[in-house]
Amino acid sequence: MEQLNQLWVLTDQAHAWSAQMVVASHEAWLWTEDQMQRHLPPEFAEEVRAALLSTAECLRLWAIVGWSMTRTVASLAHEHPFWFGGVLAAIVTLLAVRWAVRWLYYKIQQHVVRLEQRLRHWQHRTMQTSSRAWRWIICVMPHIIFTSLFSLALLSPHSRRFLDDTRTLFTLGVIIPICLSLATLLPLELDDGSNDAAEDANDRPAAARKHQSMGAPQREILNLARRSWVSYWSALALLFTMTQPPFVVSLLPMIPLATAASSGIVLWLWLPFVHGCEVVADGWHWVLRTALPLLATRQEALTTQTGMITNIVVPAIKGSLPAAVQNFVEPIVQGGLVVVVAIPFFFSPRFIQHFGCALVGALVPAYKALDILGRPSLLKPQGQDTRTPAPMSEPMSALILHWLQYWVAAVLFYAAHEFLEGPLSALPFWYDAEIVAYLWLQLPYYRGAELVTSTLVQIRPVQHVLLPFSPVRSVQRIRLGTAQPRPGSRLSGATLGASPSLGQHTVRRRLLAQKPDLGPSTPLRQSLTSSTKPRTQAAPAPQLDLSEENDPPATAKEE
């Protein structure tokens, strides 16, 4: 009782102090009003007086609200101490559980990554020292174990009922992968003092090696994770296209336990230590390059011709076209295959347009993404040992980031489309709008996927920033030999200004090491290539004409 009485005495004192504060603030505003009226012109007196009175009223109301809330909380704690303690305990428990879940997730992820690296190292070492038959057994063993465990799970009625549910399939196939894909799109922040090493690495080779060893493993792990999720979404898109009505596989959902089998296939695609999406990607590459070699040869020839047209013919014609025509033609030229596939479906019936949406939004992007993942020239530099993992090249990182952004945005758009398709599918041009949306997300000219994903997470493009740096420090701390120029920008403004302490010879040497694609006859490339040639003789000094005819007048000399 004595403690409660002391509490009420303290609350009364606080009420008295708040009343004194309101009175003091009111007097201060009255004094301010008097001073302002003395020095302001008469025509502004009413406006200033109204503003001061409204501000004083707001302060008074805020003081009353604060005091009322304090009095309410105190009365609640006095009348219902158990309820009040329960609410506080729930809040503290929620914060503690949130922190514990984050810490536990970080620890589990760390141990899983470490265990996966050890298993992959053991598998790689065993593959090198074993015979061909044992290599096949080692490669097939994870898939056999997964199939056995999944078959045992189907024998139980509870697990079979759980797996044979559409909500389980949507959770395992979309929600969990989309969250993990968004986690790989988060910025790579390594604020461990490596920026100072990056700044000193311009002159000291030891500091350069130390700096390169800091962020390289984390960056390579991030790139490999993005590549895995691109392969997963591409494989899932291939399987999704096969379930559309024109194919015979679309009749499989009528078979019993089809949803449970789909859940197992989805788990097999993205589950760690199994990675069935890699098997699908390898099979796709085998079909395109081994079973159909003529198609691969034609594709290479078409790629060469398309590159010649895009790099030579289009820039020559682009300057003579109006701006509106350029903005219309350029996305079509950049789109290529997907635009050619999408145009006929705008003039097709609605039941064909439904299949066209699957082709434009799933099959063509899966074909292009898997084709990019199978390029050996981008995976490993020429002349490097293929037995050791090589760092991913910059064009490969940029392309993988683009397609991962597209798959995330396309999956979110497809989920929203499925939710709205029932009441809105009868509207005219519904499927035309869906095809246009997929084109907008996919074409690099519009950057629709990048715009959608940047609203969810803050993304740092890999091809622009390759070194870890703190957001507090300036971007000019990035070491010159790693930052690539942005498309359409000049090297003299961003790259040469990255480190003002470098000498001219060092700048030219590192620019030549980068070898940016500046075109065959660019003045910058000519200046860079000419700067590396040895100078046999110095340039002649300019001769000064000291004749009397060119002498300036005497007034100019004196000035």
Give the pLDDT score at 79. Answer: 80
Q: How far apart are the first and last CA of the chain?
A: 96
Instruction: Give the CA distances from residue 117 to residues 49, 120, 163, 166, 272, in Å, rounded to whole numbers and listed in that order.
Output: 72, 5, 30, 34, 11
Task: Write out 96-116 in H/E/C secondary structure.
Answer: HHHHHHHHHHHHHHHHHHHHH
Instruction: Give the CA distances from residue 392 to residues 9, 281, 382, 410, in Å, rounded to whole numbers and listed in that order.
Output: 70, 18, 13, 25
- Separation between Cα atoms, residue 364 and residue 38, nearest integer Å: 76
CA nearest to 192, candidates 483, 473, 498: 473
Residue 397 per-residue DSSP state: H
Q: Give the residue carrying structure tokens 């497809």.
A: 414
Q: Residue 477 in contact with residue 199, Cβ under 8 Å? A: yes
SS3 348: coil
Give the pLDDT score at 335. Answer: 65
R_g of the chain, CA atoms, integer Å:
34
Amino acid at the residue 266: V
- Separation between Cα atoms, residue 206 and residue 330, nearest integer Å: 47
Phi first, then psi: what are they for 499, rounded to 5°? Answer: -145, 95
> What is the secondary structure of 401-460 as a DSSP string?
HHHHHHHHHHHHHHHHHHHHHHHHTTSTTHHHHHHHHHHHHH-TTTTHHHHHHHHHS---
What angle do the packed helices 430-442 and 350-358 form, to 10 degrees? 20
Query: Quick one: 400 exposed, middle or buried, by C-beta within 10 A (0-12, 13-18, 19+)?
Result: buried
Q: Give the residue carrying structure tokens 């999704």.
A: 240
The two structure tokens encoding residue 9: 């005495």
Phi first, then psi: what are they for 372, rounded to 5°? Answer: -70, -40
Residue 41 per-residue DSSP state: -
- Separation between Cα atoms, residue 374 and residue 141, nearest integer Å: 24
Question: pLDDT averaged over consecutive 10-residue blocks of the chain (559 residues)?
Answer: 61 67 68 66 69 76 81 79 83 87 79 76 72 74 88 88 88 88 68 41 44 56 83 88 74 78 88 82 76 53 53 60 64 71 84 85 87 62 45 76 90 86 77 89 85 72 33 31 40 39 47 46 43 45 42 44
- Separation between Cα atoms, residue 17 and residue 10, nearest integer Å: 10
Instruction: Give the CA distances from residue 62 to residues 21, 31, 548, in Å, rounded to whole numbers and listed in that order.
Output: 12, 21, 87
CA nearest to 172, candidates 269, 297, 59, 68: 269
Q: Give the residue carrying structure tokens 């949803």.
A: 259
- Separation between Cα atoms, residue 385 and residue 64, nearest integer Å: 75
- Separation between Cα atoms, residue 147 and residue 409, nearest integer Å: 32
- Separation between Cα atoms, residue 361 and residue 440, nearest integer Å: 10
- Separation between Cα atoms, residue 138 and residue 131, nearest integer Å: 11
Task: Write out 483-504 in H/E/C secondary structure.
Answer: CCCCCCCCHHHHCCCCCCCCCH
